[in-house]
Structure 1
Amino acid sequence: MTTTEAPLLAASALHVTFPGRRGAPPARAVDGVELTVGRGEIVALVGESGCGKTTLARALLGLVAPTAGTVAFDGSPLGRHARALKAYRRRAQLVLQDPSGSLNPRHTVYDAVAEGLRIHGFPGDERELVARALSRAGLRPPERFFLRYPHELSGGQRQRVVIAGALVLDPELIVADEPVASLDASVRGEILALLLRLRDELGLSALVVTHDLGLAWNIADRVAVMYLGRIVETGPVEDVLTHPQHPYTQALLSVLPESPGDPVVLSGELPDPSRVPGGCRFHARCQVLASGEADRAGVADHCRTQDLPVLAGGTAARVACHWAAAVGAGA
């Protein structure tokens, strides 16, 4: 994507809150997010379980209504009425984590892939379109899979059927939520290679939601690291994963097998999104603050008391961290 070209998908000042339980404050699952996905670009949205990344992905697809902010697709704000959402979902498709749960065990592969065509009244020869989608997803010859049921397929084959069900409508964007989390290591590589090939051959854009920075390294052009409802670091994947600026990103990277240093063990659990701490939302678990490095940089009080601005969208490398800003300014 060039700097002058409008992004295919853009979230602006996006918030999603859910009512609190038993009188608790509302849970701020997505708490001010700016995020873009360019045409033909793969963006990885990374963070631990509970950080809000799946809620953000669902809001971007119109499956969850934002409390505030906007989602725009191809330059136009996403409408909330049924007809607009149906038209949008023909152009933007979701690929879920668990292919076994995504596929109806009573439907054949053919019916599973053809379902989207029937819902949207997609023009063309149904059999030919289903065969083309299965072939694009790597199930060849496609006719051999038409009458099979999900239980007759391997995990990798089931995930390919789910991907074929998304591809059959010729979407411009795929949102893949942990697309290889339930697969064996050898099959994971095949599915990631498939997503890259679809981007190269079809110009497909993708937002890949994952907790695995190793996966982001292998597939993404750009990465956005999410913590407690906000993007805390973003930029080209090489920049972020080679020179991480945010302590949270550094901690996530430290547990990868190829990481040169010792793993960073974060203290405590991810805070409750209905009780987001003041100051930097990561400060209660931050290894830089705990070690005294933030104090030596003169920003420890800021970390505990001063909130950080929402990171702007776009392709540039950005980080929301008092310590990183102080160290960078002194470099």
Structure 2
Amino acid sequence: MTTPPAPLLTAQSLHVTFPGRHGTAPARAVDGVELDIRAGEIVALVGESGCGKTTLARALLGLVTPTAGHISFGGQRLTYTSRALKSYRRRAQLVLQDPSGSLNPRHTVYDAVAEGLRIHGHDGDEREAVAQALSRAGLRPPERFFLRYPHELSGGQRQRVVIAGALVLGPELIVADEPVASLDASVRGEILSLLLRLRDELGLAALVVTHDLGLAWNIADRVAVMYLGRIVETGAVEQVLMAPRHPYTQALLSVAPESTGEAVVLTGEPPDPTRIPSGCRFHARCQILASGEAEAAGVAGACRTRDLEVLAGGGGAQVACHWARTRVTT
């Protein structure tokens, strides 16, 4: 039996808590997360707005300092000195969802892509590095784009420039936060195909943050579903999206455009990291508890009062749900 390679990135017992203001409770945005990402692997982090996925992504990049827990990259624990973070950000890059907001309208494409090289004191041929990054991002011939400004480009071309800016430093991991959310449907597939090609050609790992399960299906090797600061279901994309076990995952899938079944309308309030309930953190909105199925399975009391352990960060299908664990098939 082949031993799987060591993770490129590991988050262990990660917490990010923001202090309350004006007497409000602190917000536990990330509340004990374990997550691994391996070289050449695309992981989709899925959940509705307010679940903590963007905060988790920013913490993984060192843009937010965790309250507790730690992150390791390439086997080395991340420290938060400016020198260590600068070195880390050569290897792990962020791609934002809004290319128009990410690009300075007064900078040419060349300057936008070269910015990272200049910040990190690149001592090679800058022009060659910029051209290579643009070419890898699908802007060919690259020299045709050097002197153009963001307003002269289409939305898809602007997103490719943002991706080129991330690639120019030769990272091993990119974190893409809703990378196609602002693009037309006709362009979305091109950008997703580009990310897949970069994985295959460069061995690039990616964490793709999204609320779109269709995107996760098209691009991810593995899916992590997040709710109220924790990952509640994780596994290979086929396991999670074809046979979801957590009621929250089932509800998200039921309202996806590709779904042919009846939509599950969640009741109650959306996630509020200042008010994490006792028991399963989803129980107040859970359609299984509301329907009586959890009562019939003998776990309704546990759903309301007993918290579930944090899921491990490695591979394999896992679910944080009392009811789902009564339905193990052989």
- TM interval, shorter chain, is over 0.9
1:40 match: 40
1:130 match: 130
Q: Find runs of 4+ consecutive structure 1 residues off by over 4 angstroms.
A: none
1:303 match: 303
2:314 match: 314
Give a deviation string over 1:99-127, Cα, whole Å, max 9, x none. 00000000000000000000001231111
Distance in 2 (alpha carbons) for counterparts of 1:122 and 1:87: 12
2:213 match: 213
Matched, 1:94 2:94: yes
- Counterpart of 2:69, as a letter, is G
Give a deviation string over 1:46-76, Cα, whole Å, max 9, x none. 0001100000000000000000000000011
Q: CA deviation at 1:260?
A: 2.7
Q: CA deviation at 1:231?
A: 0.1
Distance in 2 (alpha carbons) for counterparts of 1:257 and 1:133: 34
1:269 match: 269
Gaps of at least 5 residues in structure 1 are none
- Counterpart of 2:103, as a letter, is L
Distance in 1 (alpha carbons) for counterparts of 2:102 and 2:276: 33
Distance in 2 (alpha carbons) for counterparts of 1:3 and 1:243: 27
1:259 match: 259
2:108 match: 108
2:173 match: 173
Matched, 1:164 2:164: yes
SS of residue paired to 1:48: coil
- Counterpart of 2:309, as a letter, is P
Distance in 2 (alpha carbons) for counterparts of 1:86 and 1:310: 31
Q: CA deviation at 1:23?
A: 1.3
Native 8 Å contact 2:227 2:271 kept in 1: no
SS of residue paired to 1:174: strand
Give a deviation string over 1:208-254, Cα, whole Å, max 9, x none. 00001110000000000000000000000001101000000000011
2:204 match: 204
Q: TM-score, normalised by structure 2?
A: 0.98
SS of residue paired to 2:97: coil
Matched, 1:284 2:281: no
Distance in 2 (alpha carbons) for counterparts of 1:220 and 1:272: 28
Distance in 2 (alpha carbons) for counterparts of 1:142 and 1:269: 49
Distance in 2 (alpha carbons) for counterparts of 1:218 and 1:31: 29
Cα separation, partners in 2 of 1:57 and 1:3, compared to 1, 3 Å: farther
- Counterpart of 1:120, as a letter, is H
SS of residue paired to 2:323: helix
- Counterpart of 2:302, as a letter, is H
Q: CA deviation at 1:269?
A: 2.5
1:70 match: 70
SS of residue paired to 2:63: coil
2:119 match: 119
Matched, 1:151 2:151: yes
Matched, 1:139 2:152: no
Alignment identity in percent? 81
SS of residue paired to 2:327: helix
Q: CA deviation at 1:3?
A: 4.3
- Aligned pairs for 1:16-31 (under 5 A) are 16-31=16-31
- Aligned pairs for 1:9-20 (under 5 A) are 9-20=9-20
Gaps of at least 5 residues in structure 2 are none
Distance in 1 (alpha carbons) for counterparts of 2:110 and 2:10: 34
2:223 match: 223
SS of residue paired to 1:22: coil
Give a deviation string over 1:84-111, Cα, whole Å, max 9, x none. 0000000000000100000000000000
**RMSD of the alignment, in Å?**
1.0
Q: CA deviation at 1:25?
A: 1.8
Q: TM-score, normalised by structure 1?
A: 0.98
Give a deviation string over 1:231-287, Cα, whole Å, max 9, x none. 000000001101000000000011122223111111123232111011000000001
SS of residue paired to 1:322: coil
Distance in 2 (alpha carbons) for counterparts of 1:192 and 1:99: 15
Distance in 1 (alpha carbons) for counterparts of 2:4 and 2:236: 17
Count of residue correspondences: 329
Q: CA deviation at 1:180?
A: 0.3
Give a deviation string over 1:25-48, Cα, whole Å, max 9, x none. 210000000001001000000000
